[in-house]
């Protein structure tokens, strides 16, 4: 075996040390990566860590299906409530006015109570000095089969445009 010079031995030692350092860094990197993979694996195995990966995935799929069914049930219930809500009296307005010239204070009124389709009723109360008369008229699609006064039409229009907020629009109209 040929004898190596000091320079050759130093060079060989440096190469071996460099390779060893490279191997050490590679092992360190792999240990960190393995720790991360173990953490993720334990997360997948469940809280107790007593499940295998397939049963954990199966449980997750089962829970996902349950959540999906619950979301569908809530969506269906919301749609049912929305359709029922359209039939509720949600658009309303009151128009106050003086029905007679000798009466002040706008004691007469027409009140429209409508659902989302414009169906409902208009109630009109006409106040005079000696009597009060009240009328109720059905409304279908924002129209009535009965003759509507200007105030009743104004109440229906205010109910529709007020979007259920009960806008009160005093009118200066008076009947004579």
**63 and 132 fall within a common domain:** no
Q: Which range among 36-50, 69-83, 88-102, 157-171 shows the weakest confidence by mean pLDDT?
A: 157-171
Question: Distance of alpha carbon 28 from its chain centroid, rounded?
Answer: 50
Place 124 in a pLDDT band, splitting at 50, 70 and 90.
very high
Q: For the CA atoms of 148, 149, 150, 152, what is the dihedral angle to 10 degrees?
A: -70
**Token match 């000091």: residue?**
6
**66 and 112 fall within a common domain:** no
**61 and 110 fall within a common domain:** no
- The last residue of a domain, from among 50, 84, 118: 84
Instruction: Give me the residues paired with residue 138 across strands.
Output: 121
Q: How confident is the model over 79-91, as a mean pLDDT?
A: 84
**107 and 157 fall within a common domain:** yes
- Rounded to two decimals, the pTM is 0.52
**59 and 112 fall within a common domain:** no
The whole-number pLDDT of residue 78 equals 94
The whole-number pLDDT of residue 23 equals 97
Nearest in space to 121 (alpha carbons), one of 163, 97, 89, 78: 89
Q: Is residue 142 within 8 Å of 118, Cβ to Cβ?
A: yes
Q: Which range among 25-29, 96-100, 133-137, 149-153 shows the weakest confidence by mean pLDDT?
A: 96-100
Q: Is the pLDDT of residue 171 over 50?
A: no
**104 and 80 fall within a common domain:** no
At 160, list the tokens. Answer: 């529709």
**144 and 108 fall within a common domain:** yes
Q: Is the pLDDT of residue 7 over 80?
A: yes
Give the count of beta carbons closer than 10 Å to the beta carbon of residue 118: 16
Nearest in space to 87 (alpha carbons), one of 113, 119, 65, 63: 119
Structural domain span for residue 100: 91-168
**61 in a domain, yes or no?**
yes
**174 in a domain, yes or no?**
no
Q: Is the pLDDT of residue 95 over 80?
A: yes
Q: How confident is the model over 79-92, as a mean pLDDT?
A: 85
**54 in a domain, yes or no?**
yes
**14 and 57 fall within a common domain:** yes
């Amino acid at each position: 075996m040929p004898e190596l010079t000091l320079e050759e031995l130093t060079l060989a030692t440096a190469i071996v040390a460099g390779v060893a350092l490279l191997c050490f860094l590679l092992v360190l990197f792999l240990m960190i990566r393995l720790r991360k993979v173990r953490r993720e694996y334990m997360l997948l195995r469940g809280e107790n860590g007593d499940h295998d990966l397939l049963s954990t995935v199966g449980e997750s799929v089962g829970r996902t299906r349950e959540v999906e069914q619950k979301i569908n049930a809530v969506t269906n219930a919301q749609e049912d409530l929305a359709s029922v809500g359209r039939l509720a009296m949600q658009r309303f307005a009151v128009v106050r006015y003086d029905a007679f010239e000798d009466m002040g204070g706008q004691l007469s009124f027409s009140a429209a109570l409508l659902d989302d389709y414009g169906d409902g009723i208009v109630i009109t109360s006409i106040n005079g000095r000696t009597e009060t008369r009240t009328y109720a008229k059905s409304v279908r699609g924002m129209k009535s089969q009965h003759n509507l006064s200007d105030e009743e039409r104004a109440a229906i229009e205010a109910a529709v445009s007020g979007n259920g907020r009960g806008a009160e629009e005093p009118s200066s109209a008076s009947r004579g």
